[in-house]
Structure 1
Amino acid sequence: MARYIFITGGVVSSLGKGLASAALGALLQARGYSVRLRKLDPYLNVDPGTMSPFEHGEVFVTDDGAETDLDLGHYERFTGVAARTTDSISSGRIYSNVLEKERRGDYLGKTIQVVPHVTNEIKDFLSIGANEVDFMLCEIGGTVGDIEGLPFFEAIRQFIHERPRGECILMHLTLLPYLAASGELKTKPTQHSVKELQSIGLAPDVLVCRSEQPIPEKEREKIALFCNVRKDAVIPAYDLKSIYQAPLAYHEAGLDDAVLNAFGIEPAPKPNMTVWEDVIDRLTNPEGEVKIGIVGKYTRLEDAYKSISEALTHGGMANRTKVKIAWVDAELLENDNPANTLEQFDAILVPGGFGERGTEGKIRAAQFAREHKVPYLGICLGMQMAVIEGARNVAGINSAGSEEFDHEAGVQRFEPVVYHLKEWVQGNHVIARKRDDDKGGTMRLGAYNANLKAGSKIAEIYGATEIEERHRHRYEVDTRYKDKLEACGLDFAGMSPDGRLPETVEWKDHPWFIGVQYHPELKSKPFAPHPLFAGFIKAALDNSRLV
């Protein structure tokens, strides 16, 4: 039976609960324990799938097709444990489940209330897979005191009360603000946050205190005294140059020791930190440097492309190369010579996205990379833009475009080289979709297999001809144009097992130009960089040496 660690936050948001949770999971693994991490989000959306990236950042997709919070990406990158649908839940999903049960008559005519029906649903979610791992880490989104989070906190209170003593602990993140005028760290916000937590029946066992300044011993003693925790359970958390320093930094601060002590696990197994020591060595001792231009639509919020930026960093680690990322607004390329912006980069990446805005700029970026032999990686929409560019400028299909753009405009303007996917095979059954279906959860989501052409560049990169990658899209490149495009040199090097859906394309006469319909960034990790990103950075490094 798993031991539970509940991670909460107070004072302000964005303290780094997700990073702290992921780092703690990595530290427990370093001591030989198995872990699983979960996120409980108080917002009323059923999932983040229909949220704007400007509103919520990227949507992380699991193998089994769940659209989740980006913190699950941190969990996977730090622990290597593949997230599942059951590792992410929102208030919207909880209430939706409760109301579906009420409609079916599962409650036998009872009045439906937050307590016990909503809280029971949350507790049922927490219990899933409890026999599979040694530790279950559950992060609660938002901050203590938020009205929408109260059902989660009440459910956790009940859950802890109902479990045998010593099987659950609470880790609370707070802020110690520094007042420059008085030259002091102030502990009062942390005290009030813990008081708020205690008022709803929860008491922290471990306090993680974010601070921009060193925390003096007397302040740790004061926090321990007034927050009713042991002094060695008051863990400082300072700003880091890289998130991948977090496991080593938290270990040095004593977080894993404090957690295991709270469970009464003594003596604790000794940790093996060699994996993270190697990660930091590769990160901090680069032997080269490349500059990557990411041509996207949501460049004003870097969290919209969080997994991509991290995967590029991983690719740099694989090559002992520092990766400098520059964000390029795709719309700026539409009315200017792309060379003015793009010629400074060693490689160009065009990520996924939705809608027509900025797509002409992405097409021009793909054209610049093709014509100037600059390494190019197109992901999802980035692959579709590369195909449209090749169709227009090489294959002579001047009006090539996407059905998505015509649908958005309400008028047919393009020859649809990219079309709305209406039917595909998942496992042993066929999935059908219509254009006017609900937006949420209706895309081609999750892990699918692909067959790679022997001798192709992408097969060489993977070292295999059969792969499995995660998808999130509702439009596909139309195979009706495959022969014509291949005759011009654009090789459809990867296809779905049934041969109906293009998965990868590459220009034969280009040093490194690859488009993929899936999202390889979702499976990259600092200790196991994705081969596509490792190959992409290697190509960028080779290109930089040619200049």
Structure 2
Amino acid sequence: MTKFVFVTGGVVSSLGKGIAAASLAAILESRGLKVTMLKLDPYINVDPGTMSPFQHGEVFVTDDGAETDLDLGHYERFISTKMRKINNFTTGQIYESVIRKERRGEYLGKTVQVIPHITNEIQSFIYRGAEGYDVAIVEIGGTVGDIESLPFLEAARQLSLRAGRNMAAFIHLTLVPFIASAGELKTKPTQHSVQKLREIGISPHALLCRADRPIPEDERAKISLFSNVPKDAVISVWDVDTIYKIPNLLHNQGLDAIICKELNLSPPPADLTVWNKLVHALDNPEKEVSICMVGKYVDLTESYKSLIEALCHAGIHTNSRVNIDFLDSEEIEEKGTAGLLEKYDAILVPGGFGSRGVEGKIQAAQYAREHKIPYLGICLGMQVALIEYARNVAGLKNANSTEFAPDTEQPVVALITEWQNQDGKIEQRDKESELGGTMRLGAQTCAIEPGTLASEIYGNVVTERHRHRYEANNHYLDRIKGAGLVVSACTPNEKLCEIMELPKSAHPWYMGVQYHPEFKSTPREGHPLFIAFVKAALKHKETQHNVQERAA
């Protein structure tokens, strides 16, 4: 039977529960256990798909098309298990499920209440996501004391009671702040957080104490005494320069041993060789490269979390340090590209929604094309590159997307359902492709044209995850391809553009992809597209250096 580890948080949010939980999962997996992870989000939204990146951060997408919390990205980066729809659920989904059952009469006329009906439903969802695994690590969003989190915490307490001895363990992540004016670490917030958790009926088996520095023995002993947690289970988790050091940090303090003992598990010793190699590569780069990411959420790196990590992974696998500068595309609209883009070895335009800053992204794509700088456009980044090429090379001066200009005369990017209004032609499409009111979500496999840059990177086929509504309009692709653009992959049924690129005779490395490759990158293997992009940036840097030397 599956055993459970519940990870809760206290004092403040954003302490890193997801990374801590994923790091523990990585250690347990290295000990030969089959591990999965679940994220329980206390908000009433059914999923984060409609939530602003400014408020919630990145929306992660799974192979089966779920729009989930960004922590599921961390889970996939740390363990081999692929996340699915059942690995993330919200208060909204729980209540939606219970109300549907009530409408169908499944409760036989009983009064439907938070206890037991909501808490039972939560447990049912947990068991569904955990089935078939040795250990399921369940992260409960929010902090102890939040009204929204109470049903999840109560469900976890009930599940541990019903499951019986050695079937569930609890880890509580909390803050130990350093008060500069007093020159001291303060343990009282942790004490109160654990006290609040125990009032609910949950006693943690281990505490992960977040601080900006290692916590001294005296403070650990004090936390142990007042929290009723053994001192060796008070784990110091201090700030590190990369999240990939966390597995070793936790293992060296015996967290996995504590959990295995509580769950009565006796797996082989942990083998963290792969993590040691990754950290060594990060700490000892042989080269350095600077990439400009032209986006619209530049003040919140959480909005591009998977993309940042994917570039970091590419750096690991090219023995290089990848420096990322974020440039607001509205700044390009205001000032132009002069003085803003010259210093970079490559330019990346990520995905996004809405018209704000789009013309700045189009200018960035044009600058990269004209100055032979490696360019990677992802989702919207591909669409703006297509618009730019259509305007400035293919002679479609008014080219645009109906997302930004609904009445554009030349909609080179549009919803599939809008294409039927052009020349009376209706494109063939199946039910899965009615994108007018929804998105193309999840993984899709496509064949790649031989002899292209894409084929050098992927081989014969590509399988990547999608999250978008708008597509390159097939009615304009022939004219744009006639002007030199290469469409190197299309969907098998509707022939929608998946990858576009410039031939090497026109540009050393220029590519746009409609999907989100960052969702499949892991530190252990990297991702072939990002590795190729970083290699192109390194080559461009070397070429520019040689040109400058010859000029000198």
Query: Same fold by TM-score, threshold 0.5 exceeded?
Result: yes
After superposition, where does 1:157-172 map in structure 2 within 5 Å?
Answer: 157-172=157-172
Partner of 1:97: 97
Amino acid at match of 2:457: I
Inter-partner Cα distance in structure 2 for 1:65 and 1:85:
7
Q: CA deviation at 1:432?
A: 5.2
Partner of 1:431: 432
After superposition, where does 1:397-412 map in structure 2 within 5 Å?
Answer: 397-407=396-406, 412=407
Change (3 A) 1:146 1:532: same
Partner of 1:456: 452
Q: CA deviation at 1:376?
A: 0.3
The SS at the match of 2:169 is: strand
Partner of 1:496: 491
Change (3 A) 1:101 1:284: same
What are the superposed Cα offsets for residues 337-371 of structure 1, whole Å, 9 maximum, x if unpaired?
Answer: 31321111100000001111111111111100000
After superposition, where does 1:269-284 map in structure 2 within 5 Å?
Answer: 269-284=268-283
CA contact (8 A) 1:174 1:193 kept: yes
Number of residue-to-residue matches in the alignment: 533
Partner of 2:194: 194
Inter-partner Cα distance in structure 1 for 2:388 and 2:44:
40
The SS at the match of 2:408 is: coil
Inter-partner Cα distance in structure 2 for 1:317 and 1:4:
33
CA contact (8 A) 2:379 2:516 kept: yes
The SS at the match of 1:132 is: coil
Amino acid at match of 2:431: V
* RMSD of aligned residue pairs (Cα, Å): 1.6
CA contact (8 A) 1:423 1:432 kept: no
The SS at the match of 1:326 is: strand
Q: CA deviation at 1:49?
A: 0.2
Q: CA deviation at 1:423?
A: 10
Amino acid at match of 1:217: E
Change (3 A) 1:473 1:434: closer
CA contact (8 A) 2:416 2:473 kept: no
Partner of 2:516: 519
Inter-partner Cα distance in structure 2 for 1:429 and 1:485:
26
What are the superposed Cα offsets for residues 419-455 of structure 1, whole Å, 9 maximum, x if unpaired?
Answer: 113499xxx96225364x4xxxx21100011111011
Q: CA deviation at 1:185?
A: 2.0
CA contact (8 A) 2:435 2:469 kept: no
Inter-partner Cα distance in structure 2 for 1:518 and 1:8:
34
After superposition, where does 1:387-402 map in structure 2 within 5 Å?
Answer: 387-402=386-401
The SS at the match of 2:412 is: strand
Amino acid at match of 1:472: R
Inter-partner Cα distance in structure 1 for 2:41 and 2:312:
28
1:413 paired residue among 387, 408, 412: 408
What are the superposed Cα offsets for residues 193-240 of structure 1, whole Å, 9 maximum, x if unpaired?
Answer: 111001111110011111223322222222222211221111110000
Q: CA deviation at 1:109?
A: 2.1
Change (3 A) 1:247 1:414: farther
Inter-partner Cα distance in structure 1 for 2:189 and 2:243:
25
What are the superposed Cα offsets for residues 292-344 of structure 1, whole Å, 9 maximum, x if unpaired?
Answer: 00001111111111111110111111110101000010111113231321111
Partner of 2:536: 539
Partner of 1:60: 60
CA contact (8 A) 1:62 1:470 kept: yes
CA contact (8 A) 1:290 1:324 kept: yes
Amino acid at match of 1:483: D
Inter-partner Cα distance in structure 1 for 2:103 and 2:131:
31
Q: CA deviation at 1:515?
A: 0.4
Inter-partner Cα distance in structure 1 for 2:483 and 2:418:
28
Inter-partner Cα distance in structure 2 for 1:191 and 1:422:
58
The SS at the match of 2:299 is: coil
Inter-partner Cα distance in structure 2 for 1:349 and 1:139:
33
1:287 partnered with 2:286: yes
CA contact (8 A) 2:171 2:208 kept: yes
The SS at the match of 1:431 is: helix
Inter-partner Cα distance in structure 2 for 1:332 and 1:16:
32
1:444 partnered with 2:440: yes
Q: CA deviation at 1:114?
A: 0.7
Inter-partner Cα distance in structure 2 for 1:423 and 1:220:
63
Q: After TM superposition, where is structure 1 displaced by more than 4 Å over at least 4 residues in a row?
A: none
The SS at the match of 1:153 is: helix
Partner of 1:377: 376
Change (3 A) 1:108 1:148: same
CA contact (8 A) 1:423 1:433 kept: no
Inter-partner Cα distance in structure 2 for 1:447 and 1:30:
27
Inter-partner Cα distance in structure 1 for 2:265 and 2:98:
38
Change (3 A) 1:92 1:241: same
Q: Which moved more, 1:178-187 or 1:118-127?
A: 178-187
Inter-partner Cα distance in structure 1 for 2:108 and 2:132:
33
Q: Which moved more, 1:26-35 or 1:492-501?
A: 492-501
Amino acid at match of 2:445: N
1:469 partnered with 2:464: yes
Partner of 1:307: 306
Inter-partner Cα distance in structure 2 for 1:211 and 1:434:
46
Amino acid at match of 1:77: R
Inter-partner Cα distance in structure 2 for 1:342 and 1:24:
41
The SS at the match of 1:44 is: coil
Amino acid at match of 1:41: D
1:343 partnered with 2:342: yes
Inter-partner Cα distance in structure 1 for 2:336 and 2:542:
25
Q: CA deviation at 1:264?
A: 3.2
Task: Calculate the TM-score normalised by the size of structure 2.
Answer: 0.94
What are the superposed Cα offsets for residues 476-500 of structure 1, whole Å, 9 maximum, x if unpaired?
Answer: 0011122211121110001112252
CA contact (8 A) 1:58 1:306 kept: yes
After superposition, where does 1:102-141 map in structure 2 within 5 Å?
Answer: 102-141=102-141
1:82 partnered with 2:95: no
CA contact (8 A) 1:144 1:196 kept: yes
Inter-partner Cα distance in structure 2 for 1:215 and 1:242:
19
Q: CA deviation at 1:269?
A: 1.7
1:219 partnered with 2:219: yes
Inter-partner Cα distance in structure 2 for 1:413 and 1:138:
48
Inter-partner Cα distance in structure 1 for 2:261 and 2:540:
52
The SS at the match of 1:341 is: coil
Inter-partner Cα distance in structure 2 for 1:448 and 1:430:
15
Q: CA deviation at 1:406?
A: 2.6
Q: Which moved more, 1:146-155 or 1:101-110?
A: 101-110
CA contact (8 A) 2:214 2:237 kept: no
Change (3 A) 1:422 1:138: farther
Task: Calculate the TM-score normalised by the size of structure 1.
Answer: 0.95
What are the superposed Cα offsets for residues 243-297 of structure 1, whole Å, 9 maximum, x if unpaired?
Answer: 111111111222212221222335x521111110111111111111010000011
Inter-partner Cα distance in structure 2 for 1:261 and 1:216:
25
CA contact (8 A) 1:422 1:432 kept: no
CA contact (8 A) 2:401 2:408 kept: no
Inter-partner Cα distance in structure 2 for 1:516 and 1:504:
5
CA contact (8 A) 2:57 2:303 kept: yes
CA contact (8 A) 2:433 2:440 kept: no
Q: CA deviation at 1:107?
A: 1.9
Inter-partner Cα distance in structure 2 for 1:153 and 1:434:
38
The SS at the match of 1:340 is: coil
Inter-partner Cα distance in structure 2 for 1:432 and 1:387:
21
After superposition, where does 1:22-61 map in structure 2 within 5 Å?
Answer: 22-61=22-61
What are the superposed Cα offsets for residues 356-404 of structure 1, whole Å, 9 maximum, x if unpaired?
Answer: 1111111111100000000000000000000000100000000100011
CA contact (8 A) 1:406 1:414 kept: no
CA contact (8 A) 1:339 1:368 kept: no
